[in-house]
Structure 1
Amino acid sequence: MKLGIIGAGMIVRDLLSFIHEIPVITLGAIWSRPSHQDKLRSLQEEYGIARIYSEYSEMIANDDVDTIYIGLPNHLHYAYAKEALLGGKNVICEKPFTSNLQQFLELKEIAQQKQLVLVEAITNQYLKNYLSMREYLPKLGDIKIVECNYSQLSSRYAAFQGGEVLPAFNPKMSGGALMDINLYNIHLVVGLFGSPKKVEYWANLERGIDTSGMLLMDYGDFKCVCIGSKDTTAPNAMNIQGNKGYIHMTSSANTCESFELALHKEAPIRVDDKDHPHRMYDEFVEFERMIREHDLEKVTAMLDHSEKVMEVIEQAKQSANLVFGSDQ
């Protein structure tokens, strides 16, 4: 994979902190707006990035880049992904894929027409502990209750309360708790159980954005609640309760640390199959393989999963009367 990086924020630095551990990925280029060129030059020197750009079209035209990683604010994902796909590049797009389902479906159609790889960078779908959890799930018998809580007081919340509108809490930029930390909960649950029959989102709204909320998903035979909060904090946890046992995880859904499997009349066991400390490592190992092998079957499966998540997001937004700038 010859990677071109879009953006220069915290998520990009997170990526650069470990990507050298996957030597088959080369850093071909990085782009950001002209005002960030000093930052790009610093990143180029620190991480050995071949070229820097202030013109996105020039980066797309670079034959030394075959894949674009989009690490921009949520509302920009669609436009930059579309331009990359139309330019013949594979695309790895940070979560959330897009601001709404219509945008996602358009990107999916372009990628499939051009037979390009298009995937969402969503950590938990590739983490080894999550994959192990999926294998243990049948041991729990009939699932009755699923509960996920990812709560983390945002460092930007105080400024937001003071009247400053930052991207994390800007409805025009598709911010808020649903599209940030609760999205990990949704991906985890949909990845395990598929699409729910009904979705409701009970959101705490401040100035048109959800600073926290409870997403209720009805699967018919069992019920699920996903809590995401950027205005409070609490111990993060996940419970999957069946009539033969439970799975209990004491971490947020984006890292999927070790979990406890407890079956009736048996001693609980601790499961931890994680073999790399960085939460993004496993997904990029798999992205590189998918692109190198042109594994469009796996790409289609992951796009189908992301589409189910986007459908949940659309229902949640409608339920809470949550409207982003791209929706208007």
Structure 2
Amino acid sequence: MKVATVGTGFIVEWFLTSVEQNEGAKCVAVYSRKETTGRKLADQYHVEKVYTDFTEMLKDAEIDTVYVASPNSLHYHYALEALQAGKHVICEKPFTSTVDELKHLIQVAKAKRLFLFEAIVTRHMPNYRIIREHVEQLGKIRMIQCNFSQYSSRYDKFLAGENPNVFNPAFSGGALMDLNIYNLHFVMGLFGKPQEVRYEPSLAANGIDTAGVLLLTYPDFQAVCIACKNCEAANYTQIQGENGYLLVSGATSLLQEVMLNLKQKQTNIGTEEIMPGLYYEVKAFVSMMKQGDLDACYRELENSLAVFEVLYEARVKAGIHFAADEETSS
């Protein structure tokens, strides 16, 4: 996998570190609108090529994969242009701003027989596989609680009257898209689509959700998913069943420790994940591409689409509107 990156934020640095740690992956180019910003990132990771023209970068025959980590609202446009140029795409979460955008990307990827991945770490973590293997021991599930909260590094600027992308409806920001999507992937990866979804957000004056509670209703249980960008919390996930419970420490993007409690007997069943979270998703993407396993890729896309349909329904029901909604409707 010879990848070019789009974006220069901290998540790109995490991704490039994981690329360096994975055999079979190499970054060969960096794209940034500013040469100085792109060059700084490229030099940090020993990447030779820096592009300031995205279309020109797509003409580079050495590049076979484009990693998109731009502001959320731009994911669709960068991913679509890359696919149309014959490049595989890894797109940061949330995949797109609307369901129609995601469906179009999937349609193009399948028509061109290209790989298209959502960079969502939760599904690829070793501890998530362990949770999936043990969840049936809990018996009939009765309640799930997820809390992923962190005080945003940009929240003070937002309070001061600035308009950072992550708190801007024009850039498809907010707590639901940025944090609760991890909780949603966690729950739906185990239990599928809920019967009903409701989102109760804390809305700022500009209409963006700085925090919120996502309620997923299943036939026998409910999942309460909390995400806050305006305060901290002891992040954890708890799956409660009639036989006991699973307690997962850390955010649903980390899954740091997994404790299984059955009839008052507690066991640590998790594995120590010594590599950064993005390492595992990059490893999975490299493996699928090396094997040419498009079927596995497209199964993952079905999961991503299902999650995004619920995410989108929750957002629309809560009255949170993005600029991309207008583009879709027109």
* Pairwise same-fold verdict (TM > 0.5): yes
State the match for 1:32 in structure 2: 32
State the match for 2:50 in structure 1: 52
Confirm whether residue 3 of structure 1 aligns to residue 32 of structure 2: no
TM-score (norm 1): 0.97
TM-score (norm 2): 0.96
Q: Is the contact made by 1:261 and 1:270 (CA closer than 8 Å) also made in structure 2?
A: yes
Which of these residues, 36, 40, 43, is aligned with residue 42 of structure 1? 40
Confirm whether residue 260 of structure 1 aligns to residue 259 of structure 2: yes
State the match for 1:177 in structure 2: 175
What is the CA distance between 1:243 and its match in structure 2?
A: 0.5
- Using the alignment, how far apart are the partners of 2:116 and 2:71 within structure 1? 18
Matched letter for residue 57 of structure 1: T
Tell me the secondary structure at the aligned position of residue 111 of structure 1. helix
What is the CA distance between 1:23 and its match in structure 2?
A: 2.9
Matched letter for residue 217 of structure 1: L
Q: Is the contact made by 2:16 and 2:27 (CA closer than 8 Å) also made in structure 1?
A: no
Q: Which shows bigger deviation, 46-55 or 212-221?
A: 46-55
- Using the alignment, how far apart are the partners of 1:106 and 1:81 within structure 2? 11
What is the CA distance between 1:160 and its match in structure 2?
A: 1.2
What is the CA distance between 1:116 and its match in structure 2?
A: 0.3
Segments of 5+ residues of structure 1 without an aligned counterpart are none
Confirm whether residue 89 of structure 1 aligns to residue 87 of structure 2: yes
Q: Is the contact made by 1:259 and 1:272 (CA closer than 8 Å) also made in structure 2?
A: yes
Q: Is the contact made by 2:28 and 2:47 (CA closer than 8 Å) also made in structure 1?
A: yes
Following superposition of structure 1 onto structure 2, how do residues 66-215 of structure 1 map, counting pairs within 5 Å?
66-207=64-205, 208-215=207-214
Following superposition of structure 1 onto structure 2, how do residues 274-289 of structure 1 map, counting pairs within 5 Å?
274-289=272-287
Matched letter for residue 85 of structure 1: L
What is the CA distance between 1:28 and its match in structure 2?
A: 1.4
Segments of 5+ residues of structure 2 without an aligned counterpart are none
- Using the alignment, how far apart are the partners of 2:155 and 2:48 within structure 1? 37
Q: Percent identity?
A: 39
Q: Is the contact made by 1:127 and 1:274 (CA closer than 8 Å) also made in structure 2?
A: no
The RMSD of aligned alpha carbons is 1.1
Q: Which shows bigger deviation, 165-174 or 13-22?
A: 13-22
Tell me the secondary structure at the aligned position of residue 210 of structure 2. strand
Matched letter for residue 26 of structure 2: T
Which of these residues, 267, 272, 284, is aligned with residue 269 of structure 1? 267
State the number of aligned residues: 325
Q: Is the contact made by 2:256 and 2:273 (CA closer than 8 Å) also made in structure 1?
A: no
- Using the alignment, how far apart are the partners of 1:180 and 1:240 within structure 2? 22
What is the CA distance between 1:19 and its match in structure 2?
A: 2.1
Confirm whether residue 244 of structure 1 aligns to residue 270 of structure 2: no
Q: Is the contact made by 1:27 and 1:50 (CA closer than 8 Å) also made in structure 2?
A: no
What is the CA distance between 1:277 and its match in structure 2?
A: 2.8
- The alpha-carbon distance between structure 1 residues 274 and 101, as it changes in their structure 2 partners (threshold 3 A), is farther
- Using the alignment, how far apart are the partners of 2:297 and 2:49 within structure 1? 28
- Using the alignment, how far apart are the partners of 1:269 and 1:305 within structure 2? 30
- Using the alignment, how far apart are the partners of 1:45 and 1:300 within structure 2? 35
